């Protein structure tokens, strides 16, 4: 059954285990391809991960003059092909979330490939495997649907997912505020 990366930003505890894990999939040259930000530095401890959303029509790939950024049949937007990437860095500018990273020494772009060596065989990506708070999860569409229903955010005040800058994405996101819709037990 197809599973997706699913994010619940409200849960993030800022442990950056997702960054550590991204270096450990065995195929990432021990460099992480994801980000975690302090939302309100100097104020509180809220943090959130910034992950590649694996857009259905990705700006990075569209901007690439050398067709170095391929889209895998699972929908994963892959890291640039070493033999094709010309190091122009268009993609790093085109991506509205600033996901692609650039290695100046190798003159090569690299980005999250959704741990393709794992996910193509149905094995969860490293970041979602380790995330201690369930901010990052690896779920079926049905499970994602259930979670969205559970959070019951169609109250006019909160939305659970934005029309993203790049419209449809393979990764699904729940914004902070999910608990607003929860009915308390007593």
Partner 1 sequence: MQKDKFFKAESNVVHPNETLVKTHCAYCGMQCGMNLRVNVATNKIIGVEPRYDWPVTVGKMCPKGVTAYQQTNHDDRILKPLIRDDASLKGTKEGFREASWNEAYDLIANKFRELQVKYGKDSLSVFSGVSMTNEKCYLTGKFARVALGTRYIDYNGRFCMSSAAGGFLRSFGVDRGSTLPWTDIHETDCLFIAGSNTAECHPTSMFRVWNVQERGGYIIVADPRETPIARRADVHLDLKPGTDLALANGILNLLIQNGYADEEFINNHTNGFEETKELVKEFTPEYTSELTGVASKKIIRAAEIYGKSPNAVVMFARGIEQQHKGVDNVSGYTNLALVTGKIGRPKSGVATFTGQGNGQGGREHGQKADLLPGYRKITNPEHVAEVCKVWKITPEEMPQPGVSAYEMFELMEQKTIRGLYLLCSNPAVSAPNLNFVRTSMKNLDFMVCSDFYLSESAEFADVILPSVTWSEDEGTVTNLEGRIIKINKAQEPIGESKPDWQIQVELAERLGKGKYFSHLKTAKDVADEFRLASKGGNADYYGATWDKIDKQDGVFWPCKDENDMGTPHMFLDKKFYHADGKAKICALPYRPPAEEPDEKYPLRLTTGRVVYHYLSGNQTRRIQFLRDMCPEPYVEVHPETAKKYNMDHEDKVRLYTRRGEAIYKVKITEAIRKDTVFVPYHFGHEQSINLLTIAALDPISRMPEFKVCAAQMEKVEIKKVQ
Positions in the binding site for partner 1 (CB under 8 A): 10-11, 13-17, 19-21, 23-26, 42-47, 117-118, 121-124, 126, 129-134, 150, 179, 182-186
Choose the contact partner of 171 out of ligand SF4, partner 1, none; CB within 5 to 8 A by kind.
none
Q: Read off the tokens for 43.
A: 């104020």
Confirm or reject binding of residue 95 to ligand SF4 (CB under 6 A). Answer: no
Choose the contact partner of 121 out of partner 1, ligand SF4, none; CB within 5 to 8 A by kind.
partner 1
Whole-angstrom distance, CA of residue 20 vs CA of residue 132? 12
Minimum Å gap between C-beta 156 and ligand SF4 is 28
Burial label, 64 (beta-carbon count in 10 A; 0-12, 13-18, 19+)? buried
Residue number, 157 or 184, with CB nearest to partner 1: 184
Task: Return the exposure string of 157-171: e unless at least 16 CB atoms fall within 10 Å of the residue's CB, then b.
Answer: ebebeeeeebeebbb
> Dihedral through CA 96, CA 124, CA 68, CA 54, nearest 10?
-30
Cβ atoms of residues 176 and 12 within 8 Å: no
Minimum Å gap between C-beta 86 and partner 1 is 31
Cβ atoms of residues 55 and 169 within 8 Å: yes
Confirm or reject binding of residue 169 to ligand SF4 (CB under 6 A). Answer: no
- What is the per-residue binding string for ligand SF4 in 104-133, x denoting contact by CB under 6 A? --------xxxx---------xxx---xxx
Q: Which of 22, 55, 61, 95 binds ligand SF4 (CB under 6 A)?
A: 22
Closest of 164, 109, 131 to residue 36, by C-alpha: 131
Q: What is the binding site for ligand SF4 (CB under 6 A)?
A: 12-18, 21-22, 25, 33-34, 36, 47, 49, 51, 112-115, 125-127, 131-133, 135-136
């Amino acid at each position: 059954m197809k599973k997706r990366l699913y994010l619940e930003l409200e849960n993030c505890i800022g442990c950056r285990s997702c960054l550590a894990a991204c270096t450990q999939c065995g195929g990432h040259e021990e460099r992480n391809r994801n980000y975690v930000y302090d939302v309100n530095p100097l104020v509180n401890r809220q943090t959130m991960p910034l992950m590649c959303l694996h857009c259905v029509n990705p700006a990075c790939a569209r901007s690439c003059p050398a067709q170095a950024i391929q889209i895998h049949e699972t929908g994963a937007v892959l890291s640039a092909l070493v033999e094709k990437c010309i190091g122009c860095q268009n993609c790093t500018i085109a991506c509205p979330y600033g996901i692609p990273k650039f290695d100046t020494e190798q003159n090569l772009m690299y980005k999250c490939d959704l741990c393709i060596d794992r996910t193509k065989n149905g094995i969860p990506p490293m970041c979602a495997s380790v995330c201690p708070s369930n901010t990052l999860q690896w779920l079926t569409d049905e499970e994602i649907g259930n979670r969205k229903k559970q959070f019951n955010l169609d109250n006019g005040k909160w939305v659970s997912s934005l029309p993203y800058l790049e419209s449809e994405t393979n990764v699904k996101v729940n914004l902070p505020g999910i608990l607003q819709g929860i009915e308390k037990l007593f």
